[in-house]
Structure 1
Amino acid sequence: DMSLGFAKGIRERLPNAARIIDKFHVIKHANEAVDKVRKQEARGNALLKRTKYLWLRNESNLTGLQLEPKRSLQRRRLKTGRACQMRETLQDIYGTSADRAEAETALKRLCSWMTRSRLEPMKEFARQIRRHWRDILAYFDHPYTNAILEGLNSVIQNVKTRARGFKNMDYFSTMIYLTCGKLDLSTVTT
């Protein structure tokens, strides 16, 4: 996670832990940058209205009806098309880099391209990558994610919301165990 709160929590509670920023979070920020470019360009180009998901989805996930308009728009040399290519290059780095050194070289080239692109959201994203350089590259040494923790946190937040609060922590922790523990209660109730 690239949030400052997460980094602070790690520093305070796990001072000896190595921090790894997984590809999901990096690509999420890349998608946000691409969408900012699209929004800016859409103000002056009606062709880009209602095309958000054409640019944010991978081409393999687009239907034939969606793929043709995207390719047509890419031939127009739009700023959004360039931003999308940068995001796809980032995905290729994660998909094809054999080791940290190869990833570092490719990320340096990508950051250079984004910095010279004259697309402010992509330039800001390049600065963000540079601020978190060591933690992003750590993923290529240890490809771990916190996806399971984030999934559990989502379930716990849902339990909290459904209950509209708990009067004490014991009830809350019991509901967390019941929901996340996948306990077979049929043996207890019969």
Structure 2
Amino acid sequence: MRRVAQALGVAWHTANSAILARAQRMGADDPHRLEGVEVLGVDEHIWRHTRLGQRYVTVVIDLTPVRQATGPARLLDVIEGRSGRALQDWLAQRDQSWRQGVEVVAMDAFTGFKTAAAQQLPAARAVMDPFHVIALAGDRLDECRRRIQRQTTGGRGTKTDPLYRARRTLRTGADLLTDPGAQRLQELFAHERHAAVQATWSIYQRLIQAYRAQDRGLGRFLMQRAIDSLTRPIPAGLEEITALAKTLTSRSQDILAYFERPHTSNGPTEAINGRLEHLRGIALGFRNLTHYTTRSLIHAGRLKDQLKATTYTHP
């Protein structure tokens, strides 16, 4: 922005205001920007840290280009808050024909997004994507490892503790383990006190195996078997598996829907969230949500190319 202002011979604020005004016209004020959306991705992130707490936004992503292999995902809008109500209100503002055109909504395990999509997009298929399913199972595995660590050592793990040393190896897919890694897990699971970690690790690996199956039909079968195994009574001492089972069984249809909807993943949504994290870092943070939304649309909503295509003539 500074170089643009210098090239035009104007103040930084003048150049910044002009670019933001044009981006606003091409973004939020452009009625054609949301056309052709068939696959939505929704997620949330922290956009500002304050002394009173963290402030969240919900991001709405167009995943249609990814499914059609015509380009990258694009940011559609940034909504204040991270509640299901915030997403529901945003969807309600779209016209009926637009809502009917949405076929799939990719999301995480947050039930608020599921409820909002069901109410405003009843014909769309909700898909809980692999990224969040594996991340959820991995978090439960970490929780189990830390709990057993505290029970066996009386405190947090150190670099000499076997469980702590294996923290990354436990999160590695079994088919990607090196010989030393496999040996490390074998020695770890040889101890009865690590039985809970091994049980949680086994569920985690079964989910990975299902998603990595070359045949989608086989993947669905493996996932269905893994979820069905969690409907049976779970022994005491496996609190993390119990918590994971509650989510996987209640959202089983959304998880299995992934195998029926190829190329439906919230991975591109997470990638855009990462780009916005980088944007906030470059700007040293934002204080104005409208400003942040406009900047986000420029960097992740395909507005940058349109701005570059505009020729400004300095008198």
Both proteins in one fold, TM over 0.5 = yes
Which sections of structure 2, spanning at least 5 residues, go unmatched?
1-107, 154-160
Richer in helix (by share): 1
Deviation by residue 1:148-167 (Cα, 9 ceiling, x = unmatched): 12222332344245433265
Cα separation, 2, equivalents of 1:113 and 1:95: 25
Match of residue 165, structure 1, among 272, 276, 286? 286
- Give the structure 1 partner of residue 188 of structure 2: 73
- The equivalent of 2:171 in structure 1 is 56
Is the 2:140–2:244 Cα contact (8 Å) retained in structure 1?
yes
Please name the residue that 2:55 is paired with: none
Q: Which amino acid aligns with 1:21?
A: M
User: What CA distance in whole angstroms lies between the structure 2 residues aligned with 1:62 and 1:130?
Assistant: 29
1:29 aligns with 2:29: no
Q: Which residue matches 1:20?
A: 127
2 CA distance for matches of 1:167 and 1:101? 45
Q: Work out the CA distance in 2 between the residues paired with 1:112 and 1:168.
A: 44
Q: Which amino acid aligns with 2:205?
A: E
Question: Which 10-residue stretch deviates more, 173-182 or 18-27?
Answer: 173-182
- Determine the structure 2 residue equivalent to 1:154: 274
1:130 has 2:249 as partner: yes
SS of the equivalent of 1:39 reads helix
Superposition deviation, residue 69 in structure 1: 2.1
Contact 1:86 1:114 in 2 (8 A): no
**Relative CO higher for 1 or 2, CA cutoff 8 Å, sep ≥ 6?**
1
| Residues in 1 aligned to 2:185 and 2:279: alpha-carbon distance in whole angstroms | 40
Q: Distance in 2 between matches of 1:168 and 1:73?
A: 49
With normalisation by structure 1, the TM-score equals: 0.77
Aligned partner of 2:200: which letter?
A
Q: How does 1:47-126 map to 2 (within 5 A)?
A: 47-62=162-177, 64-77=179-192, 78-79=194-195, 80-96=197-213, 98=217, 102-103=221-222, 105-112=224-231, 115-116=234-235, 118-126=237-245
Indicate the larger mover: 144-153 or 19-28. 144-153
- How many residue pairs match? The answer is 189
Please give the alpha-carbon distance, in whole angstroms, between the structure 2 residues aligned to 1:109 and 1:35.
Answer: 23
Q: Share of identical aligned residues, percent?
A: 21
Do 2:136 and 2:244's aligned partners in 1 also have CA atoms closer than 8 Å? yes
- Please tell me the residue identity of whatever aligns with 1:149: T
| Cα distance in structure 2, aligned partners of 1:65 and 1:117 | 32
Check conservation: 2:109, 2:247, Cα contact below 8 A.
no
Runs of 4 or more above 6 Å deviation = none
In structure 1, distance between residues paired with 2:178 and 2:219: 34
Partner Cα separation in structure 2 for residue 114 and residue 53 of structure 1: 29
Gaps of 5+ in 1: none
Q: What corresponds to 2:260 in structure 1?
A: 141
RMSD value, Cα: 3.3
Alpha-carbon displacement from aligned partner over 1:101-129 (angstroms, at most 9, x marks no partner):
62464134431478347411011111111
Structure with the larger strand share: 2
TM-score (norm: length of structure 2): 0.50
The letter for the 2-side match of 1:53 is: R
Which amino acid in 2 is paired with 1:102? F
Q: Which structure: larger Rg?
A: 2
Contact 1:117 1:123 (C-alpha < 8 Å) held by counterparts: no
